[in-house]
């Protein structure tokens, strides 16, 4: 018997990540090739954006995806999030000319407060939320705080792009096949301060750290390369990463919904105090996923270098979250 369709809300649906994301969701790459989906798409109430959204919907229709059980276009989050089982919050306010970081935080705080409240009011009580729009961790924190009737653990931020970037850099450095790298993680904020940590990673049972055996490369090449990859792509393309961001969003949601088969993946999730991260802070952690739930990998040893890196990204996130406290 075929499965009942699930509802997937995507915000910023006419943007560049939206364009790289929706077709893959509709083809079953996110939730499985047997799972019909209804897309509930949100764009700002602006004629140009709504027209662009219409065009994307026409293209979705023209793909004749067998799993696409419905498509809705909305400009009101209360309609877009109605009964939604999954919410991918991609749309966000980009930094404009002369805008300070505090202005960016405040503009996004407004968007994610409203969207958190709307999720709280109308979404499925089990909705799984992924925030992609930057600053992703803090936006997820704001949405979570604005939705007190939903489980806080259901609000997550995207660190998977950083994770995938780290895997790819390691593979290139040591000649690994990227798919053979296990137990890699990225701690902290989706920003250049993130700490991509391969101390526990293995390839075919062999330690990645021992194979590479180059702390200078780790500190001075690998971490800056992964941390500044988003900026490098903006410099090269004139636009921020879109296909790789959409791909990471698919990976994040697929693993959360369908399980990671015991493997570690990285998710930005609210801390319960693990590794000294303040409870409630949305932080990149190693997790395993099964039966629609994630579990933070606990008990890992944090050496002095790692602690220093974690402290740096933690301080940045604390600053961001302190900066929006008065708005919540
Ligand atoms: N977490 C990550 O790893 C990661 C990676 C890449 C990009 N990003 C972020 O993702 C976001 C989207 O990137 P993009 O390249 O698709 O941008 P984009 O500008 O191409 O598209 C964003 C879309 O969101 C819409 N939007 C803005 N505010 C909205 C709101 N309140 N409700 C609904 N829609 C809204 C805009 O109209 C626009 O169509 C940006 O914040 C970007 O910085 C995050
Ligand atoms: O949009 C950005 O600022 C960069 C993006 O978050 C990325 O990591 O590619």
Residue 148 pLDDT: 98
User: Any known ligand binding at 249?
Assistant: no
Closest atom of ligand 1 relative to the 19 alpha carbon: 16
Q: Whose CA is nearest to atom 33 of ligand 1?
A: 43
Q: Render pLDDT for 81-94 as a digit per residue (tens, 0 to 9).
A: 999 999 999 999 87
Q: Is 27 in the pocket of ligand 1 (CB under 6 A)?
A: no
Mean per-residue pLDDT for 249-260? 98
Are β-strands 86-89 and 128-131 bridged in parallel, bridged antiparallel, or unpaired? parallel
- As a whole-number percent, the residues of the chain with pLDDT over 90 amount to 93
Q: What is the mean pLDDT of the chain?
A: 96
Looking at 199-290, list the stretches that DSSP marks H as alpha helix, in order from N- to C-terminal side: 208-212, 215-217, 223-227, 229-237, 243-258
ipTM entry: 0.99
User: Residues with catalytic annotation?
Assistant: 190
For residue range 54-90, list pLDDT tens digits in order: 999 999 999 999 999 999 999 999 999 999 999 999 9
**What whole-number distance in Å separates Cα of residue 131 and Cα of residue 11?**
10
- Asked if residues 174 and 142 have their Cβ atoms less than 8 Å apart, the reply is no
Residue 144 Cα to ligand 2 middle (Å): 22
Atom of ligand 2 nearest to the CA of 134: 6
User: Is 241 in a helix, a strand, or coil?
Assistant: coil
How far does the centroid of ligand 2 lie from the alpha carbon of residue 61, in Å?
Answer: 30
Q: Calculate ∠ Cα 57-58-59, nearest 5°.
A: 90
Which residue is closest in CA terms to ligand 1's atom 31?
111
Distance from the alpha carbon of residue 100 to the mean position of ligand 1, in angstroms: 18
Q: Is the pLDDT of residue 27 over 80?
A: yes
Beta-bridge partners for 186: 196
What are the angstrom distances between the C-alpha of 187 and each of 86, 176, 228, 274?
A: 24, 22, 15, 12
Strands (E), 127-258: 128-131, 155-157, 181-182, 185-187, 195-197, 202-203, 206-207
Please give the average per-residue pLDDT across 14-27, as a whole number: 98
Strand (E) or helix (H) holding 117: helix 101-122
Q: How confident is the model at residue 230 (pLDDT cuts 50, 70, 90)?
A: very high
54 Cβ contact partners less than 8 Å away, ≥ 6 residues apart: 73
Residue 160's pLDDT is 98
Q: State pLDDT tens for residues 115-127.
A: 999 999 999 999 9
Give per-residue pLDDT as tens, 173-182: 999 999 999 9
Ligand 2 center to 229 CA (angstroms): 8
Give the pLDDT score at 97. 75
The pLDDT of residue 1 is: 62
- The pLDDT of residue 327 is 85
Instruction: Give the number of whichever ligand sits closest to the CA of residue 93.
Output: 1
- What is the spatial distance between Cα 220 and Cα 240, in angstroms, rounded to a whole number? 24
Whose alpha carbon is nearest atom 8 of ligand 2? 230
State the closest ligand 2 atom to the C-alpha of 240, by its place in the atom list counted from 1.
Answer: 1
């Amino acid at each position: 018997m075929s499965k009942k369709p699930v509802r997937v809300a995507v915000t910023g649906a006419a943007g560049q990540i939206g364009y790289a994301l929706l077709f893959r969701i509709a083809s079953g790459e996110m939730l499985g090739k047997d799972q019909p989906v209804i897309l509930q798409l949100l764009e700002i109430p602006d004629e140009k954006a709504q027209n662009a959204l219409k065009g994307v919907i026409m293209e979705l229709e023209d793909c004749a995806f067998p799993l696409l059980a419905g498509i809705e276009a909305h400009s009101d989050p209360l309609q877009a999030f109605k009964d939604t089982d999954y919410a991918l919050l991609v749309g966000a306010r980009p930094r404009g000319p002369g805008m300070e970081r505090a202005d960016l935080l405040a503009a996004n705080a407004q968007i994610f407060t409203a969207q958190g409240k709307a999720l709280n009011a109308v979404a499925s009580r089990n909705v799984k939320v992924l925030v992609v729009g930057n600053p992703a961790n803090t936006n997820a924190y704001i949405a979570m705080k604005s939705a007190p009737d939903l489980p806080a653990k259901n609000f997550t931020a995207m660190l998977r792009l950083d994770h995938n970037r780290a895997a790819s850099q390691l593979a290139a450095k040591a000649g690994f096949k990227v798919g053979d790298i296990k137990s890699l993680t990225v701690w902290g904020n989706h920003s250049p301060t993130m700490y991509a940590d391969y101390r526990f990673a293995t390839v075919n049972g062999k330690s990645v750290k021992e194979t590479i055996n180059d702390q200078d490369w780790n500190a001075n090449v690998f971490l800056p390369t992964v941390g500044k990859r988003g900026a490098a792509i903006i410099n090269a393309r004139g636009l921020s990463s879109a296909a790789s961001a959409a791909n990471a969003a698919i990976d994040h949601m697929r693993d959360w919904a369908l399980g990671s088969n015991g493997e570690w993946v990285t998710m930005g999730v609210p801390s319960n105090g693990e590794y000294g991260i303040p409870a409630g802070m949305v932080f990149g952690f190693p997790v395993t996923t099964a039966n629609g739930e994630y579990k933070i990998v606990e008990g890992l040893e944090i050496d002095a270098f790692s602690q220093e890196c974690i402290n740096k990204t933690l301080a940045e996130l604390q600053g961001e979250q302190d900066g929006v406290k008065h708005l919540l």
